Amino acid sequence: MIAFFPKLYPNELLYSILARYHARSGYARYVSTAEDIYKSGKITHPSIEFVNKYTADVMSWLTKEAPWEAIAEKHTMYPAYIRFLPLKRRKEAEEGVRNQDGNWKNLMCLPILNEKRYLRYCPECAKEDREKYGETYWHREHQIPRIRICPKHKTHFENSTIPIASKSTPGLFDAQSNVPEINITRQCENEREIDFTRYVLDVFNSPIDLKTDFNIGTYLQSHISPEYKNKSGLRTDISKFYADYIAFYNGIPTMPQSYMQKIFNGYIFDTYFVLQLAFFEGVSVSQITNTPTTTNTTNLGGLYSHLSEKYNVEYSVVENIATEILNHTQHKISNISGPQRIEYDKLDTDLLPKVKSFVDKMANGQGRPERITVTKIQRLMGLPQKCFKKLPQCKAYIVSRTESQIEYWARQVEWAVKEIDSNNKLLSLSKIMKLTHMRKSDIISCSPFINDSEIKDTISELLKIQT
Ligand SMILES: [Zn+2]
């Protein structure tokens, strides 16, 4: 029986409270404490970032003030790795980590870092903890990968000597004994880094949404500023966007452009870099933590899960193979071929009045007539090829105004007659033919379609004279 158990501090890692318990237990060796707290006893490798299976005794102490779900969410690192996953995968990862069940590690988006990770601390936070509580503890926020500073104190984190990797010797090392009392701190002068880190922590401390299915790539694409779009709004100048992103995060770790495109296309859900894009795009904390449902067009999480189950292959293996294939076909996944249905719908509505007025002007214009076709409108309006395939309202209007060849000829004849008349020249069939590049047989076949009755009669007279 555990006779006493410490209380959790704000934002304390679950590992930290167990290490504090060990420090106070009076046990000289880790294995004795392990027997008390872990279901599998002394063979347990304590998880620093996540959870282990605990004894009923520990569970009842831990859940005295809040349910287990809340403790796991507020006192482990998993919210840093699952927030932007597709819904099914997000839920499976959350449930897996909480119950220590299934291949939850493979479901998460764990960053690949080139450095060995250690438990970290902010010297100023440690000082404050010691003044307030008489001891310091391992803070969750200080362990978020790629975050380097404490925005509250504008100081750089320091590494302890406790490695985070699970391969290290099992043990429970409390912060109070392992965080030195140092007076020298490394200050951060980069205001952008301070602001961005504050943003990351605000998101990190917000509840994880386990109900809404959103596609974070689509969402981020929809927030790209119009300044990076071409006139039609369909194409993104991704190189310019990337150059500005790099300049914005000057002095802060950034991602390669190919990685950014994978986030936009919904293949990668790396929390830190997703948040870099969101912050750069001006998306607020409340917006990014309340992402609306989006159409699941390029979201492959569900497919990966399905294939993983069907062929009994690990999720990460399916994902790795798919990523390799996608890398080869990356050129086909252009900057605009991503999930942009929402944008197309909006564009379709926005563009419709312009298309109508353009087509009407073409049909009733004073100059030389041009035949109305979908392709011609697309070209004259300077829009991308085949764009009307994705803009159904605009296309329907153009189709309703398109002309047959004969109708178009009739309009040409009307124009030619007016043109010759306005130049006070004598009207003749040969002059009309020369102006319109039409043959006599063309004029004969289109004459019933001439709208202006006076011109229609004139043409019929001219044809009689000629025959
Ligand atoms: Zn601090």
Question: pTM for this structure?
Answer: 0.64
Task: Give residue 126 CA to ligand 1 midpoint distance, Å.
Answer: 7
Rounded distance from Cα 129 to ligand 1 centre (Å): 10
Per-residue model confidence as pLDDT tens digits over 164-197: 986 777 899 999 999 999 878 999 999 999 999 9
Mean per-residue pLDDT, 248-273: 92
Q: Where residue 335 falls among pLDDT bands split at 50, 70, 90?
A: very low
User: What spacing in Å lies between the alpha carbon of 150 and ligand 1's midpoint?
Assistant: 5
Span from the CA of 128 to the centroid of ligand 1 (angstroms): 8
Please tell me the least confidently modeled range out of 52-61, 113-122, 385-394: 385-394
Task: Tell me the average pLDDT of the chain.
Answer: 87
| Cα(48) to centroid(ligand 1), Å | 20
CA of 135 to the centre of ligand 1 (A): 15
Lookup: tokens for 335: 């900057």
Dist. CA 47 → ligand 1 center (Å): 24
Residue 325 pLDDT greater than 80, yes or no: no
User: How far does the centroid of ligand 1 lie from the alpha carbon of residue 154, in Å?
Assistant: 7
Cα(186) to ligand 1 centroid in Å equals 11
